[in-house]
Each structure stands twice: as structure tokens, then as C-alpha cells.
Amino acid sequence: MLKLFTLMQAAADSLRRREEGQTMAEYGVVLAVITLAVIGAITLLSDNVRSAIESVANILP
């Protein structure tokens, strides 16, 4: 009976140590932060990029 209890305790400990769900959540948070940073950068730089493209287009015949 003691061996069975020890085996069950070891199985429960191994299940508690699994972190697959946490790492997937962390990947989701990192992806969301990167997405927001890219959208923010595009929004802030859009006017400068547009004016640079227009100036190059005006130079071309």
C-alpha cells in the first residue's frame, strides 16, 4: 500500500511540474506585445514613409 501511495504521489508531482500551458500563454503574450509594437511603429512612421515615397516619386520622370 505504501508503494502505491508513493507511486501516486510521484505521478501527482510530475503533473504539477508540467508547464506546457504556461509556456503557450507566455508565447501568446509575447506575440501580442510584438504585434502591438509593430502596429504602433507603422502608425508613427506612416507619414514619414509616405512623404519619402512621394519625394522619390516626384524625382522620377
pLDDT in tens, 18-43: 666 667 888 989 999 999 999 999 99
Question: Per residue in 21-38, is it b (16+ CB within 10 Å) or e — as a string?
Answer: eeeeeeeeeeeeeeeeee
Question: What is the model's pTM?
Answer: 0.51
- Whether residue 50 has pLDDT greater than 80: yes
Which pLDDT band holds residue 15 (cuts at 50, 70, 90)?
A: low
DSSP codes, 1-61: -HHHHHHHHHHHHHHHH--HHHHHHHHHHHHHHHHHHHHHHHHHHHHHHHHHHHHHHHH--
CA 56, distance to chain mean position in Å, is: 36
